[in-house]
Amino acid sequence: MGSKIQAPSAIPALRPDVVVISSAAYQEEIYRSLAGLEAQGISIVRLYENSKQPS
């Protein structure tokens, strides 16, 4: 697909329009750590509904 996985710390400098979270197990944790990006106009897309970490 040509897309690269980037470290969360690199995201603001890249200035993407959107960040896609593609981990069902850690989606909510990842979202919480990236939520501040939305204030910078970066959309965050979660691919999974009602994801929960495995117990």
Query: Where are the domains positioned within the chain?
Result: 15-46
Short-list 28, 20, 24, CA closest to 44: 20
DSSP character for 33?
A: H
In percent, the amount of the chain with pLDDT more than 90 equals 73
Q: How far is it, in rounded angstroms, from Cα 25 to Cα 52?
A: 6
Residues listed for the chain: 55
Q: Is the pLDDT of residue 52 over 90?
A: no
pLDDT one-digit tens code per residue, 13-47: 999 999 999 999 999 999 999 999 999 999 999 99
Say whether 19 sits in a helix, a strand or coil: strand
